[in-house]
Amino acid sequence: MRVVYRGLAAIGVAAAAAVALVVVVFPAGPDEVAAGPVTAPPAAPSSSGPAPSTASVSASPSVSPTLTAEAMPSPSPGSSLAPGYTAMEALYADPRVPKLTGRIKRIRLAAPTRKVVKDRRTGLVVPNLSKPWKSYGAAPFTTKQVLPKARTGVRGMFVTCPLPTMRQKSPRDTALLAARWTLNHHPEDSRITWLASQPVKHGWMLVYRVKYGKHQSRAAVVVMDGGMSKPGLAFVTVPDSQRKQWRDIGRVVAGVRVLG
């Protein structure tokens, strides 16, 4: 009997060693990730400012980090976005930015002004707006013009800089992402209403209303390929407290062109 017990004990030890060996030789599968908070990635690089807040969710050990677009549910406005969504999908899920439809009209562009500012970092030439506009310290932009300070604390601003968002295949989509990015420079809870959308030489132009509380601003972006590593962005916004200068928005979008 002692011989039998010793034999069984030896078999038990061998089985335990085999299990341990299997654990070492076969680690967790590649589709397993450690549990922890996972939040939606921003729709633009960090330099473009914070993305809209999203709810955190816990990752399950069975969640694959290499989900395909076909395997993921379509995002809906205001929903959390799982890692792997594109910048445009994040845009479509942002309730602050409505869908740009074919019903959005075009506007007639006036003749460009003669007084200009040359921005060699973006490869763009933009209008040098007349008084009450004035040049101001550009950083973090490459050029900057502003209106006098208003009592509301919000004042008009016209800036240029290399595109701070991800370039898309379509100039229109690139402009949409740029317009969404400009909400970082408007009061909280701002929402966009499209007023005009049309192609321009070497790029795309959008004009829109930004509503926040009981107030609003008129704004526009022009994204244009100036021959640099990134397209150039011209962005102008004017609050309703300075509505007399809303007419300058048309001068801006009509006057942006490629340097050369």
The per-residue pLDDT for range 18-39, each reduced to its tens digit, is 434 333 333 333 322 222 322 2
Sequence-distant contacts of 87-91: CB under 8 A, at least 24 apart: 87/43, 87/44, 87/165, 87/166, 87/168, 87/177, 88/168, 88/173, 88/176, 88/177, 90/40, 90/41, 90/42, 90/43, 90/51, 91/43, 91/176, 91/177, 91/180
Residue 139 contacts residue 202 (beta carbons within 8 Å): no
For the entire predicted model, the pTM comes to 0.69
Region 208-221 average pLDDT: 96
Out of 12-16, 147-151, 168-172, 182-186, pick the least confident.
12-16
Which candidate, 44, 40, 39, 41, places its Cα nearest to that of 179?
A: 44
Distance of CA 34 to the CA centre of its chain: 28
Instruction: Take residue 186 and report the two structure tokens written for it.
Output: 């408007």
151 confidence band (pLDDT: 50, 70, 90)? confident
Predicted local distance difference test score (pLDDT) of residue 228: 96
Average pLDDT of the residues of the chain: 77
80 confidence band (pLDDT: 50, 70, 90)? low
In Å, what is the CA distance from 203 to each residue of 108, 165, 198, 234?
Answer: 16, 15, 9, 11
